[in-house]
Every structure is written in C-alpha cells, then in structure tokens.
C-alpha cells in the first residue's frame, strides 16, 4: 500500500537527485540516441500483441544493503522524465512507477529469465505488471522494460552487516499495453 506522506517524501528526495544529476555530460546510450528504438535484446522483448504507450528516461539511484557480507538490492529511487526532459514520474520500491501528472501507477515484477546483462550497469529487464491504478498514462500497462542502463551496479567486495549505499544509475523505461 502506497501512503501519500511517504510518496511526498520520496518525491522530494528524488527531485533533489534529479537536480543534482542534471549536469551530467555522459554520452547517451544507443537506445536513447535513436529515440529509444535501438535493437532490444530478445530476452527482454515485450510479447507480440502489445504497443508502447510511454518511454521515460530515469535518473536516480539503486540502493543496496549489506546482508551476510554481500551487497543485496534494496530499492530504486529515480525521477522519470519525458523526451523533453520534464519530470513526469517517480520510480521506487515495489518496483512501482507513479505519474506525477495524473496519479496513475503500475507495479511490476521481473519476468523469470528475461534479462540482458550490460557491462558496468544493472541489467536490462522485462517486467510484467502485477497491478495498475488510475486512469492516466499507466492505466492498462501490462509490461515494463528497463533498457539502455548505465551505472547502478553494487560495489565490489565485502561490506559491514547492515550498511547501505546508493549508486547512481540511468535507464530508459518503456511501458506497454495490449494493442487493441
């Protein structure tokens, strides 16, 4: 259950992260340079019969916690921007994506085996929607793809039990719904 106060706190933190990352001069990934239409690895392709309803660029962090001497993923926290660079959504633990324009949301889970490893970055993923909320951009979304990833990899080596660290990352998220 998403609580409004928690969402406002996350939104405030994420907007601060986006402002701090705005000065990035890193070269865009091939999928972004081609408007998100670059080749997608077969493992993370959306099944036939679906159409893309939104493509949003994410900038934020992947947060890890130390358990049993190893870093384990805890949660993402990212601001989603449209093709003009306007902040239009938030991505957080669940994983959940929420539109800050219309309040719609989608929660999804990774599809087993649907990943594409990327050197020096978190893997590309195909996720299937578990639930949606609202009548806006995320209404009816059935699949989410995490593509064109940069950064976000857990630190190498051991760690102290209970420690947490956040690593900056970027990705292109595509949201698909059944084609009618």
DSSP 3-state of 113: strand
**pLDDT at residue number 180:** 82
DSSP 4-51: HHHHHHHHHHHHHHHHHHTT--PPPPHHHHTTT-S---GGGPPPTTEE
Mean pLDDT score across all residues of the chain: 84
User: Does residue 8 carry a pLDDT above 60?
Assistant: no
Lowest average pLDDT, out of 33-47, 95-109, 144-158, goes to 33-47
**pLDDT at residue number 135:** 95
The pLDDT of 46-55, averaged and rounded, is: 97
The 10s digit of each residue's pLDDT in 77-87 is: 999 999 999 99
Q: How far apart are CA 98 and CA 90, in angstroms?
A: 5
Residue 106: its H or E element = strand 105-118
Name 126's Cβ contacts closer than 8 Å, sequence gap at least 6.
43, 44, 45, 46, 110, 111, 114, 115, 143, 144, 145
The pLDDT of 137-165, averaged and rounded, is: 96
Confidence of residue 120 (pLDDT cuts 50, 70, 90): very high
**pLDDT at residue number 39:** 84
Name 152's Cβ contacts closer than 8 Å, sequence gap at least 6.
61, 62, 121, 122, 167, 168, 169, 170, 171
The pLDDT of 68-89, averaged and rounded, is: 97
Confidence of residue 12 (pLDDT cuts 50, 70, 90): very low
Main-chain dihedrals φ then ψ at residue 90, nearest 5 degrees: -130, 150
């Amino acid at each position: 259950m998403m609580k409004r106060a928690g969402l406002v706190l996350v939104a405030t933190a994420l907007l601060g992260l986006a402002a701090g990352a705005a000065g990035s001069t890193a070269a865009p990934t091939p999928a972004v340079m081609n408007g998100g239409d670059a080749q997608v690895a077969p493992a993370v392709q959306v099944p036939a019969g679906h159409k893309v309803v939104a493509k949003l660029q994410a900038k934020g962090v992947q947060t890890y916690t130390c358990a049993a001497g190893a870093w384990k993923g805890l949660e993402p926290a990212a601001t989603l921007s449209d093709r003009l660079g306007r902040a239009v959504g938030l991505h957080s633990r669940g994983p959940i994506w929420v539109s800050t324009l219309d309040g719609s949301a989608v929660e999804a889970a990774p599809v087993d085996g649907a990943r594409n490893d990327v050197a020096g970055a978190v893997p590309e993923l195909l996720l299937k929607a578990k639930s949606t909320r609202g009548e806006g951009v995320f209404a009816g979304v059935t699949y989410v793809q995490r593509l064109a990833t940069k950064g976000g990899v857990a630190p190498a080596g051991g760690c102290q039990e209970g420690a947490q660290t956040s690593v900056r990352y970027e990705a292109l998220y595509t949201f698909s719904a059944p084609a009618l």
